[in-house]
Amino acid sequence: MEMPQKAIGYVRLSELRTDDLNEDGDGKGNVDQIQRIKQRAKDLGWAIVHMIVENDLSPGRGKNRPASAFKRRRIRLPDGRVEMRTVRPGFRQALDLLATRKADGFMALDLDRTVRDPRDLEDMIDVVEQHKVLVDSVTGSLRLGNDADITMARVMVAVANKESRDKARRVAAARERQAVAGEYGGGRRPFGFDEDGLTVRPDEAKVIEDCTVRFVQGASMRSLAADLRERAVPTVTGTRWTAQTLRDILMRPRNAGRMVYQGEEIGDAPWDPIVPLDTFRALQLILADPDRRVGPGAAPRWLGSNLYCCGICTDEAFTNRVGVQVRIGGRQPAYRCTAHNHLVRAVKHVDALVEATILGRLAREDAVDLLPSADPDVDVKGLRTEAAAIRAGLNELAADKALGLIDRAQLIAGTQRGKARLARIEAVLQEATVDSPLASLIGADDVAAVWEGLPLSHRRLVVDALVTVRILPTTRKGRGFDPATIDLRWREQDHPAESA
């Protein structure tokens, strides 16, 4: 058989760390394997055309791409079958190149660097036998040229596989002991904590607490992430804040002082909670709701986007609510109806009127009356249990409809009742578990200064909590802003608000 002239060189490390990189940014172990593979190929008369590095730093992201042995998923094999295999895209790429004859040989450091799962080995044996390709290694441990080589490879892989499983079992047991004992399991520093994973960082803890409370109050993840970007709050890795990044951080039970093992809470942590447990449970309840509305696009950049309403499309009772959004054009940003191009009003004038009215009310001595009164008799745990039961019931309704046990009208009626009750439960839980967004403003020495220091997402919560705003069509001729075209009403008292 002729020596391969378009062979594959296959390089893999079990784990590549940043401190393992050389001056050129390449893994030192990877570089050593490449050199040894090239030298072995040269000695045998092979030509390496494809050099596949399985474990490396992702280009432009600086994140490890591990080739762990037991991260499995469904993949398509070279013969077209779909099977469960290890997540090792480089190895699968090599088999595809061999199967399509784009490569005619395979060279690795040794058997252990190539496969540890018997299924992976059998996939390689299938390709070798079907397409008559050569397989070799620097150490001589990987050869599939005859039955004796294949049998020895199978035995060695089976032994290595058992060692890997034994190690994984010991590591899992150690992780469980650490979790039960309230110890940190290692890894990247969690946002909000020092490198030891136990000591709370006050500045980052404040971010977690503020974002959790504001989300439960009604702010969106996108708007909260935008606030953090605007304030240049750093993440642990230095990447930019996104809604998903923030969601992952806020959903950690460790924020509420709870230890976790394999996704389940198993006890209290040794550090003080950053977020009260009731508040954390409220956040979980909201995020677990499959019917939660997640708006597309960027976070709102303006105070009244989709809070203010078009006064032509929206009636006084808000039975048909049509919001407004800002469009940049002309001399200044303006609020426009989202449904029709029949209403335009300058952002600066509307916002100034709304802010002046709200701040004037918050500066009064009786501003404390705006705070919702907490009900000490609220059964928080019972309401959460009821909410979970309602969601389960809604799923059962859908199943009953699919089985023909109920008709469409019954499905709609039951769903409407369930969702209405869920909305009432969430409103009660919000008031019972978090402070009002007005709390930092009421009683302040300088309400305007506090308002200016609030992020946009918090200001929008205040507006939404206090007033409804309809932008009415103007009847006055000529230029200039007419305050009478802004129908601004207090939510609790159904009468027009007096501007400051």
* HSE-up (13 A, CA, CB side) for residue 50: 22
Span of 171-175, 305-309, 447-451 with lowest mean pLDDT: 171-175
pLDDT for position 286: 83
Would the pLDDT of 228 be above 60?
yes
Q: How far is CA 73 from CA 80, 88, 99, in A?
A: 16, 10, 21
Residue among 250, 249, 258 nearest 277 (CA)? 258
106 beta partners: 8, 135
Q: Tell how strand 309-310 and strand 467-471 pair up.
A: parallel
Q: How far is CA 43 from CA 37, 51, 113, 114, in A?
A: 10, 17, 21, 21
Pick the CATH number of 202-287 from 3.90.1750.20, 3.30.70.20, 3.40.718.10, 1.10.287.610: 3.90.1750.20
pLDDT for position 232: 92
Pick the CATH number of 7-166 from 3.40.50.1390, 3.90.320.10, 3.55.50.30, 3.30.70.260: 3.40.50.1390
Q: Tell how strand 72-76 and strand 48-53 pair up.
A: unpaired
Phi/psi for 42 (5° steps) reads: -65, -40
Query: Which position has the higher pLDDT, 112 or 126?
Result: 126
pLDDT for position 248: 92
Average pLDDT of the segment spanning 225-251:
92
Q: pLDDT band at 1, cuts 50/70/90?
A: low
Residue among 143, 156, 145, 69 nearest 107 (CA)? 143
Structure tokens at 107: 């060279």
Cβ–Cβ under 8 Å, residues 55 and 13? yes
pLDDT for position 61: 42
Query: Which position has the higher pLDDT, 383 or 354?
Result: 354
- b/e map 395-417, b = 16+ CB within 10 Å: eebeeebeeeebeeeebeebbee
Which value, to the nearest 10 degrees, does the dihedral of the CA atoms of residues 269, 64, 246, 308 take?
Answer: -170
Alpha carbons 94 and 96: distance in angstroms, whole number: 5
Q: Tell how strand 105-108 and strand 82-86 pair up.
A: unpaired
pLDDT tens column, 364-404: 888 877 877 656 667 767 777 888 788 888 888 888 888 88
Structure tokens at 265: 């809470």
| Domain boundary assignment for the chain | 7-166, 202-287, 309-371+438-490, 380-433
Alpha carbons 234 and 478: distance in angstroms, whole number: 49
Amino acid at 144: L
Cβ–Cβ under 8 Å, residues 54 and 67? yes
Cβ–Cβ under 8 Å, residues 136 and 105? yes
Would the pLDDT of 433 be above 70?
no
Alpha carbons 61 and 25: distance in angstroms, whole number: 13
Cβ–Cβ under 8 Å, residues 48 and 41? yes
Residue among 118, 337, 283 nearest 345 (CA)? 337
- Tell me, rounded to whole angstroms, the distance of Cα 207 from its chain centroid: 17
Same fold, 7-166 and 202-287: no
- Burial group, residue 373, by CB count within 10 angstroms (0-12, 13-18, 19+): exposed
Alpha carbons 358 and 53: distance in angstroms, whole number: 61
In 3-state terms, what secondary structure has residue 136? strand
Would the pLDDT of 126 be above 80?
yes
Residue among 102, 105, 125 nearest 41 (CA)? 105
Give pTM, 2 decimals: 0.55
In 3-state terms, what secondary structure has residue 112? helix
User: E strand or H helix at 324, and its extent?
Assistant: strand 324-327
pLDDT for position 367: 84
